[in-house]
């Protein structure tokens, strides 16, 4: 098993989504401060595959999977095993009561060449490949088949967690033996032994079944066969006797059938003739038809008169003109009167708007003139201010001049210096300027306000003009519409005439509908009467047709009562003649029945002599008797053959049971499995001893005796002592040597599909001295350089981490842990 990519979210210290990409990390180290989450990465790999972690202490520790305050932990592992790529997913979730359970688990076989980086694009689970396991219950067997190792062996050979690194070294011989049995697949021999025992039991059960079946075939001897052959011969004799008697019986039965048929035909004719009788009320049916037809003619005449009046009124209404047009003209008169009243109000509003607009324009002109005057005053004040500043500057210069001195500005001699004014001209100019500024701002505001008022008056005027123009246009339109139209009084008269004609038309239409209803009822009465007459004729025809074979007289189709009377008279005469013939036919029937009974008694005697009951079909009964006798004979022959086959099967089952019991007995001694384990342990210890010798600088060799591990100390005259006497560092060296040898040699020794394509060590390298650490690093580098497996370590030792090309630095903050890859 070789991990390719690990995704975690909410898993212990990895609260946020975290990805560790092992794709090309053949030799890597997990480094970081204590408690940062290095070992948690190995926990996540174990959790994704097996649903538990060694340091959790079993399935009850599942609550440790969730980060603090998290409700869900998700782990997804992509790994390769035996050339196939899988993705294992497992989700743990906390329910409302605080219990943590596995909510989802699955294993999928990914398509060949699937790009692992596509996992970052949000693929759905269906895109990851074929589902091998879809529930937590299916995961255990599916992972075992994919990885080839159960959980205990996985944590002893692939991921070696803290605290369990030396478990295999210190394990009891029985425990170590069971681990090797599982790792090497030697359980197959125990399975063979169980299968042999099972097959022996199955063969013995089949043997018992065959014996029971043979016990049920004891009645297939030669005497039984002779008896069956005799029954077949007797059945054939019976069939021959029956075949001779049956034709005579059939002739007698045919004569009896013919006689009974003739009597039955005569009785049937008598029954038909005696049943001929005219029905009651035949004459009234024809009279009812005539009365119904007269009523229908009268209602048809009334309907025609009503329809004629309706059509006349409809023509008068059409000639009275278009009612809608009349109503539109009346509405136009009313609209014109209403709009004429509104026009006066609109003209008054237009005059008022014009006056307001003119006044606003005049006020605006006056305000603009005032604003221009204020602006001119402001400009004059500005010029006065500039002149005042110049004057003040001259006064300032004048203060230092004396008569006869040169002017500092023009350099002319001043003969007499003018007196200095008492106050400052600038101050007065500033005050005048402020007053002019205030007056100008006020005039501008007034002009703006009056400009807004003038624009508003102009909008009012425009609306008034638009309303006046629209009203005038509507009045002109109405005048055009009413040009040449009749006066309103004439229009109202025409509408009243329309209403009168419409009411009359509705009354006429109602009369037409009533007449048509009466006509429909009359036609229905005619139809009913005619249907009763037709039904009476159908009854007559049916009765006469029933007598057609007897030659009844022709019927008068104009008079139903006369036709019935003639038919009844004829039927009475024919019935009398047939009653005279019946006695002779009855005597012939009795004689034929007696002949048939005599033949039946003779056939019954033949069956009684054969010991069989008589049946209605003696030929079939005789044939059945022959078939049964022959079938019994065939069954007896088949049972004799079956007994012979069962005796052959019994010999085979007895042989199979004996062989299976012998094989199970040989394998139960465990000699073969014990020999295989001893060979495997020898190879394992030889490989571990070679590695330990390198790690310890030639000091130690590893040996075993009766399942126990010992070291040979070459620095102490080859003293052999138990592995539990080693120091912490020495124990680490021995455990590492054993783990490396187990990982290195298991694939060659195992008979299962176990694929040890990686090994990850999580143990204290800090207990090693510098020389030993260098040897360990060189051993790991050599193991990784072979290229047939991934090698990973969890370490705090910088000297070891620096020699490893790929490092995953694990850091943890207050919220979550993070992983950052360094190296190539």
541-552, pLDDT tens digit by residue? 888 887 788 788
- Reported as a pLDDT band with limits 50, 70 and 90, residue 409 is confident
Residue pair 139/51 in contact (Cβ under 8 Å)? The answer is yes
- Per-residue pLDDT, 58: 60
- Per-residue pLDDT, 808: 94
Residue pair 363/454 in contact (Cβ under 8 Å)? The answer is yes
| 651/214 Cα distance (integer angstroms) | 13
| Distances from the Cα of 771 to the Cα of 639, 697, 779, 785, angstroms | 88, 9, 12, 21
778: Cα separation from own chain's centroid: 57
Instruction: Please tell me the total number of residues recorded for the chain in this structure.
Output: 824
Of 549, 547, 540, nearest in space to 271 by CA: 547
| 795/762 Cα distance (integer angstroms) | 7
| 489/491 Cα distance (integer angstroms) | 5
Residue pair 162/55 in contact (Cβ under 8 Å)? The answer is yes
pTM: 0.44
Q: Is the pLDDT of residue 30 over 60?
A: yes
Residue pair 779/2 in contact (Cβ under 8 Å)? The answer is no
Above pLDDT 90, what percent of the chain? 11
User: Residues 6 or more apart from 665 whose CB is under 8 A from it?
Assistant: none
Above pLDDT 70, what percent of the chain? 88
| 782/778 Cα distance (integer angstroms) | 6
Answer with the residue of higher pLDDT: 636 or 255.
Answer: 255
Tens of pLDDT, residues 595-605? 878 877 777 77
> What token pair was written down for 114?
């699937």
Write out the H or E segment, with its range, that includes residue 28.
Answer: strand 27-31
- Per-residue pLDDT, 164: 54
- Reported as a pLDDT band with limits 50, 70 and 90, residue 744 is low
185: Cα separation from own chain's centroid: 44
| 675/478 Cα distance (integer angstroms) | 127
Cα torsion angle, 10, 11, 12, 17, sign: negative
- Per-residue pLDDT, 821: 92
- Per-residue pLDDT, 753: 47
Q: Is the pLDDT of residue 752 over 60?
A: no
Partners of 761 in the β-ladder:
160, 793
Partners of 790 in the β-ladder:
758
Mean pLDDT (whole number) for 783-807: 85
Burial class (CB in 10 A: 0-12, 13-18, 19+), 119: middle
Average pLDDT taken over every residue of the chain: 80
Of 39, 123, 43, nearest in space to 87 by CA: 123
- Reported as a pLDDT band with limits 50, 70 and 90, residue 122 is low
For residue 407, the SS3 value is coil
Most confident of 59-73, 336-350, 416-430: 59-73
For residue 209, the SS3 value is helix
Residue pair 135/105 in contact (Cβ under 8 Å)? The answer is yes
Burial class (CB in 10 A: 0-12, 13-18, 19+), 103: middle
Secondary structure percentages of the chain, helix, strand, coil, to 5: 70, 10, 20
Mean pLDDT (whole number) for 777-801: 82
User: Residues 6 or more apart from 486 whose CB is under 8 A from it?
Assistant: 329, 494
For residue 794, the SS3 value is strand
- Reported as a pLDDT band with limits 50, 70 and 90, residue 105 is very high
Q: Is the pLDDT of residue 76 over 90?
A: yes
Q: Is the pLDDT of residue 489 over 70?
A: yes
One-letter-per-residue 3-state SS of 285-305: HHHHHHHHHHHHHHHHHHHHH
- Per-residue pLDDT, 668: 65
Tens of pLDDT, residues 86-95? 999 999 998 8
- Per-residue pLDDT, 573: 82
| 29/42 Cα distance (integer angstroms) | 12
Residue pair 129/87 in contact (Cβ under 8 Å)? The answer is yes
- Per-residue pLDDT, 518: 84
């Amino acid at each position: 098993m070789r991990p390719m990519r690990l995704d975690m979210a909410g898993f212990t210290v990895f609260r946020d989504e975290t990805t560790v990409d092992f794709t090309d990390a053949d030799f890597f180290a997990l480094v970081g401060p204590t408690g940062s989450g290095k070992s948690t990465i190995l926990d996540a790999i174990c959790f994704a595959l097996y649903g538990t972690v060694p340091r959790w202490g079993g399935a009850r520790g599942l609550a440790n999977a969730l980060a603090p305050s998290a409700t869900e932990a998700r782990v997804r592992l992509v790994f390769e095993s035996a050339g196939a790529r899988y993705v294992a997913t497992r989700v743990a979730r906390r329910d409302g009561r605080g219990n943590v359970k596995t909510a989802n688990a699955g294993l999928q076989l990914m398509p060949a060449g699937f790009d692992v980086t596509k996992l970052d694009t949000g693929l759905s689970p269906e895109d990851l490949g074929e589902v091998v396991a879809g529930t937590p219950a299916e995961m255990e067997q599916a992972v075992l088949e994919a990885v080839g190792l159960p959980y205990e062996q996985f944590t002893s050979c692939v991921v070696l967690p803290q605290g369990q690194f030396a478990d295999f070294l210190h394990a009891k011989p029985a425990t170590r033996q069971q681990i090797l049995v599982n790792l090497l697949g030697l359980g197959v021999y125990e399975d063979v032994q169980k299968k042999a025992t099972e097959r022996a039991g199955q063969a013995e059960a089949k043997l018992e079944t065959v014996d029971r079946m043979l016990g049920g075939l004891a009645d297939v001897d030669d005497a039984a066969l002779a008896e069956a052959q005799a029954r077949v011969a007797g059945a054939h004799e019976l069939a021959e006797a029956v075949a001779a008697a049956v034709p005579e019986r059939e002739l007698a039965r045919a004569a009896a059938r013919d006689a009974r048929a003739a009597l039955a035909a005569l009785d049937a004719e008598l029954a038909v003739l005696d049943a001929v009788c005219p029905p009651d009320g035949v004459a009234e049916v024809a009279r009812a038809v005539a009365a119904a037809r007269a009523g229908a003619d009268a209602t048809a005449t009334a309907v025609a008169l009503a329809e004629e009046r309706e059509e006349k009124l409809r023509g008068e209404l059409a000639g009275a003109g278009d009612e809608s047009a009349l109503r539109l003209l009346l509405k136009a008169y009313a609209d014109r009167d209403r709009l004429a009243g509104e026009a006066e109000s609109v003209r008054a509003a237009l005059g008022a708007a014009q006056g307001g607009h003119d006044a606003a324009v005049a006020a605006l002109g006056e305000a603009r003139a005032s604003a221009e005057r204020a602006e001119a005053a402001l400009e004059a004040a500005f010029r006065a201010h500039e002149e005042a500043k110049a004057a003040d500057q001259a006064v300032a210069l004048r203060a230092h001049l004396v008569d006869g001195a040169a002017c500092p500005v023009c350099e002319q001699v001043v003969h007499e210096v003018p007196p200095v004014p008492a106050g400052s001209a600038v101050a007065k100019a500033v005050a005048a300027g402020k007053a002019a500024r205030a007056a100008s701002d006020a005039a501008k505001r007034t002009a703006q306000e009056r400009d807004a008022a003038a624009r508003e008056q102009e909008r009012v005027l425009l609306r008034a003009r638009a309303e006046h123009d629209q009203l005038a246009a509507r009045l002109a339109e109405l005048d055009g519409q009413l040009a040449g139209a009749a006066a309103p009084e004439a229009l109202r008269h025409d509408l009243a005439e329309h209403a009168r004609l419409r009411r009359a038309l509705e009354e006429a239409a109602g009369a037409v509908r009533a007449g048509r209803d009466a006509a429909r009822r009359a036609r229905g009465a005619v139809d009913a009467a005619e249907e009763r007459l037709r039904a009476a004729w159908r009854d007559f025809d049916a009765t006469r047709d029933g007598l057609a074979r007897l030659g009844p007289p022709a019927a008068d189709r104009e008079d139903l009562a006369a036709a019935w009377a003639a038919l009844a008279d004829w039927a009475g005469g024919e019935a009398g003649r047939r009653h005279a013939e019946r006695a002779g036919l009855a005597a012939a029937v009795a004689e034929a029945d007696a002949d048939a009974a005599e033949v039946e008694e003779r056939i019954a005697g033949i069956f009684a002599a054969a010991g069989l009951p008589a049946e209605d079909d003696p030929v079939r009964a005789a044939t059945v008797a022959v078939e049964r006798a022959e079938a019994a004979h065939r069954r007896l022959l088949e049972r004799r053959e079956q007994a012979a086959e069962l005796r052959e099967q019994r010999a085979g089952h007895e042989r199979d049971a004996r062989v299976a019991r012998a094989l199970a007995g040989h394998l139960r001694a465990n000699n073969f499995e014990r020999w295989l384990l001893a060979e495997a342990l020898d190879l394992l210890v030889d490989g571990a001893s070679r590695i330990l010798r390198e790690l310890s600088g030639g000091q130690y060799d590893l040996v075993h005796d009766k399942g126990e591990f010992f070291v040979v100390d070459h620095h102490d005259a080859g003293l052999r002592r138990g592995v539990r006497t080693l120091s912490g560092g020495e124990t680490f060296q021995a455990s590492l040597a054993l783990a490396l040898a187990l990982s290195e040699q298991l694939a060659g020794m195992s008979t299962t599909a176990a694929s040890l394509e990686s090994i990850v060590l999580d143990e204290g390298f800090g207990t090693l001295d510098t020389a030993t650490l260098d040897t360990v690093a060189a051993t790991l580098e050599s193991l990784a350089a072979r290229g047939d497996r991934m090698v990973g370590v969890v370490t705090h030792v910088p000297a070891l981490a620096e020699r490893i090309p790929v490092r995953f630095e694990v850091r943890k903050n207050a919220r979550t842990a993070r992983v950052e890859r360094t190296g190539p």
